[in-house]
Structure 1
């Protein structure tokens, strides 16, 4: 055994040991659940982007011209909307996410999208825009230069484009003006944890981990997606500290058996515990080739002087049928999808054939997992 082989084995053993340690430590409740009510709120608004180098909305866009006329009127400039030029201006929609416990003066990132026929937002400046929630109240004001991750240039029928130049961002471009309504955390005596992936087993394990860590706490799973926790007397008035300790608790999550396949790219992703029943798999490939040979029949010199004798074009077609030897694979009891994919790979099975075989296994009832085809 050479040095390179020894180093490879040592590296694999170290990787296996690290994986076992991570599996034994489990996952934090913070990564699997969130406190119900602590969520972000969507904001949106209608705004105007200026400073575009002739890539804004077309002059015939009535909505943009009317918006500019309304803007001018706020500064004492009265001008009909038909006289407004909008080639350097674009009408946009602005969106942001307001955190649950945002404070006045906090900044938010903005996403700006064109709603007209602007060709590009590169170099634009978003004018002050009111961002409102679903209740119609204004919670933030946005303004700032746009950051566009693409471009679009065209001249004389030649077009060059990268990504989507009609979508832009304004990092930290909004300022929170009104705080969202939220309950007083210091006075709460109970809370509800919402699992990001609803599962009855995980809900019960989260409740068990909380009850084992806190004396006097009563954690009860209400359904597959929620766990109700009563704050113990020792943590009354210290709600934030109690939640911090809960989020740091670890438990062993139970993941459902799933196999995700992408037919476009041939990607197959399966969990380590996805099992395949004992089954025989046989597949082959039939290749048909049709070739045509064109030739010219030229008359002889003597026959060429006879009337009615001309040069003729002759086409000869042949059909070749090649049936490649198929392969047969028998899976063993207790085998996994990973074992099956490796075996098919050794047989030089294409990725798309592997996807088709997995779909056939699911139809035959031999694949004990949910098959998700993208």
Structure 2
């Protein structure tokens, strides 16, 4: 089974090797500066809960007092309006670029206190603010909760997924647009998702070649500056042409990813090994307990006793040493590991030892 998994890994990564690199659209390599979503957050109250809300939570009480005051109501001092039928919540949403007033957003509602479930609740009108503390949207609506929580009188509980959070599709309405400076900025800047000087240079060359004029230049390993005339309409047309231009990204750096918690090992096709010899053995210790009952002799006034008998067996699995030649590839590494019957956990130990010996020409990333 292990050999099949490793062989499948070789075939998958061989398809993604530098020799088989494919052309990629510029739009899939990054995004234009300023054209991004903005995070919104708000504090609100969910009502209509069937006894699963906050229990005498101070800021839930204050929130309910605030809701009541909007309608000219003043609650008597010391009265708790929550009564487990309301809950204080945090409301979050992403404001997409170029969103205009009147558009709707999906929102996520999460319990802030000790509310056990928000199922069946209704979010009261809640303002959503940006990082500048300005209101950009208003949220309200009935929650859709995928989780379920049940508590019995004896204290036993059953919970499915997370009942203390839910979503409201189209639950917020945009009230203010964000000024991105798209139409008036001195120029456009395209930012790569991952820093790579070679890819940045290739993107700039692809833009200049595709548009037939030298308007793009790589500033660093991430940003490509593009000369563009003022005006949203002209720049929209220009970006539409740029983002669909094909470019061949640079080869990924040699990297080995190890997830120590799950034993997953991913090796990309750029990994190479310097000459090295590897021997890996495993030690197995087996302890077997065989208790026996000892009966006393007749008329001896003795007691029946249990005598412990332990059998300890130590087995060392010896594997032959294998040699990795100069510039060994991913296929060579997996073939050699398969030859000694190493498990994925053993492969992690071998790769770490090769890195310490200076024979692994790759970044070893431990998750």
Same fold (TM over 0.5): yes
Contact 1:190–1:229 under 8 Å retained in 2 = yes
* 1:216 CA displacement: 2.6
Contact 2:47–2:87 under 8 Å retained in 1 = yes
Alignment deviations for residues 80-119 of structure 1 (CA, whole Å, 9 cap, x no partner): 3532242011100111111221111111111111111101
Q: Partners in 1 of 2:274 and 2:363 — Cα distance?
A: 14
Candidates 105, 124, 128, aligned match of 1:127: 124
Distance 1:81 1:358, change over 3 A: farther
Candidates 91, 95, 104, aligned match of 1:94: 91
Instruction: Please report the TM-score for the alignment, with normalisation by the length of structure 1.
Output: 0.86
Unaligned runs of 5+ in 1: 1-14
Q: Partners in 1 of 2:266 and 2:77 — Cα distance?
A: 57
Candidates 314, 322, 328, aligned match of 1:335: 328
Counterpart position of 1:213: 210
Matches within 5 A, 1:1-374: 23=20, 25-58=22-55, 60-80=56-76, 82-86=78-82, 87-155=84-152, 156-185=154-183, 190-231=187-228, 238-254=234-250, 255-301=252-298, 304=299, 306=300, 309-345=302-338, 347-374=340-367
Distance 1:79 1:95, change over 3 A: same
Q: Partners in 2 of 1:131 and 1:291 — Cα distance?
A: 65
Alignment deviations for residues 327-368 of structure 1 (CA, whole Å, 9 cap, x no partner): 422223332234423442454322211122112221122221
Unaligned runs of 5+ in 2: 1-11
Contact 1:215–1:232 under 8 Å retained in 2 = no
Distance 1:170 1:345, change over 3 A: farther
Counterpart position of 1:9: none
Instruction: Please report the TM-score for the alignment, with normalisation by the length of structure 2.
Output: 0.88
Counterpart position of 2:3: none
Choose 161-170 or 78-87, whichever is displaced more. Answer: 78-87
Contact 1:94–1:112 under 8 Å retained in 2 = yes
Distance 1:244 1:310, change over 3 A: closer
Contact 1:69–1:84 under 8 Å retained in 2 = no
Distance 1:90 1:346, change over 3 A: farther
For CA contacts below 8 A with separation 6 or more, give which structure has more relative contact order.
2
Q: Partners in 1 of 2:66 and 2:107 — Cα distance?
A: 24
Q: Partners in 1 of 2:274 and 2:293 — Cα distance?
A: 61
Q: Partners in 2 of 1:356 and 1:81 — Cα distance?
A: 66
Q: Partners in 1 of 2:229 and 2:172 — Cα distance?
A: 40
Q: Partners in 2 of 1:64 and 1:346 — Cα distance?
A: 64
Q: Higher Cα Rg: structure 1 or 2?
A: 1
Distance 1:168 1:338, change over 3 A: farther
Q: Partners in 2 of 1:84 and 1:232 — Cα distance?
A: 60
When the two chains are superposed, the root-mean-square deviation of aligned CA atoms in Å is: 2.7
**SS across alignment from 2:194:** coil
**SS across alignment from 2:225:** strand
Contact 2:229–2:235 under 8 Å retained in 1 = no
Count of aligned residue pairs for this structure pair: 353
**SS across alignment from 2:308:** strand
